[in-house]
Amino acid sequence: MQIEVVSARFYKGFQDYYFSPNGLDLKNGDKVIVDTEKGKDIVTIVGEKQLIDGQSLNEPLKNVLKIASEQEIKEAEENMAKASALLPEVKKIVKNENLDMKVISVESNYNYSKLVINFTSEGRVDFRDLVKKLAEKYKTRIELRQIGPRDATRLMPCLGVCGKQTCCSQGVKFNEHVSIKMAKNQSLSLNPNSISGLCGKLLCCLAYENQYYSETLKLMPKINGIVKTPDGEGKVIYLDLIKKKVTVKFQTEQSTEIKVYDCEQIKFNKEG
């Protein structure tokens, strides 16, 4: 059965969620109040009405309750800023509790009825006493959320090895799972320090141009393969996948010569 949905994104979130438009006329950029399993919150519409197969949903569809008023949006921004400012204080409390966890950020829902504390840890942490102390201090519901290194980096905007703001903190999403094969496709050094991001995981941006490299490799000979050129047969020693050029070495008993050809100039067995 086809059902009507809109896509929305939570504050500081990069994942899109489906909600029922509930008869409301919504457009991209609208701030709306939605019903969630953990209470009401404000989200931003990022995908207008569309029909999807209801069986594709993994959980019951929640409703958009209303379009948020300017006052509600203002209060939400103030509450989120208020929560963010608690970070140093929360870190100090955690340190005093001697808990093996690193607090990354403090967030709140739009009406400050809940504080979400994101943290990383090498193992499981018994934070029950901590939750009680935080709830008593801040007079609101507390949720501690353990996140992975990628999400931790995303929540701390900073510069990547390229000198630009990290892709994840800008909301750039890649549909492909990042793998070491992507680095090999791009002829990159497999030194972990060269292909790892600030999170310690493989660079997300390896997926950015992977489709180009994967398709181009299919058109090119293999390294150490024998190819036919206008100057005879030679061995491939280097591939320039950007310019689609092939470097070929000609070896004889008397001399060694190296030449560069456009891919279209050479012939090779594409099966091997």
Q: Are the C-beta atoms of residues 14 and 154 closer than 8 Å to each other?
A: yes
Classify residue 271: in a domain, yes or no.
no
Q: Are the C-beta atoms of residues 208 and 239 closer than 8 Å to each other?
A: no
Among candidate residues 35, 68, 101, the one where a domain is terminated: 68
Tell me the CA distances in angstroms from 89 to 60, 97, 108, 138, 197, one per residue in order: 37, 13, 15, 11, 29
> Which of 17-21, 41-45, 195-199, 213-217 comes out lowest in average pLDDT?
195-199
Residue type, 138: Y
Strand, coil or helix: 192 = helix
Instruction: Write out the residue range of the structural domain in which residue 208 sits.
Output: 152-212
Same domain for 130 and 94, yes or no, is yes
Q: Are the C-beta atoms of residues 25 and 54 closer than 8 Å to each other?
A: no
Strand, coil or helix: 235 = strand
Q: Is the pLDDT of residue 171 over 80?
A: no
pLDDT of residue 201: 85
pLDDT tens track for 174-221? 666 888 999 998 888 889 888 888 888 888 888 888 889 999 999 999
pLDDT band at 25 (very low <50, low <70, confident <90, very high): very high
pLDDT tens track for 108-151? 989 999 999 999 998 888 899 999 999 999 999 999 999 988 88
- pTM above the 0.75 mark? no
Q: Are the C-beta atoms of residues 92 and 137 closer than 8 Å to each other?
A: no
User: Considering the chain, what percentage of its residues have pLDDT values greater than 90?
Assistant: 59
Q: Is the pLDDT of residue 14 over 80?
A: no
Among candidate residues 117, 147, 177, the one where a domain is terminated: 147
pLDDT of residue 180: 92
User: Which residues on neighbouring strands pair with residue 62, listed in sequence order?
Assistant: 19
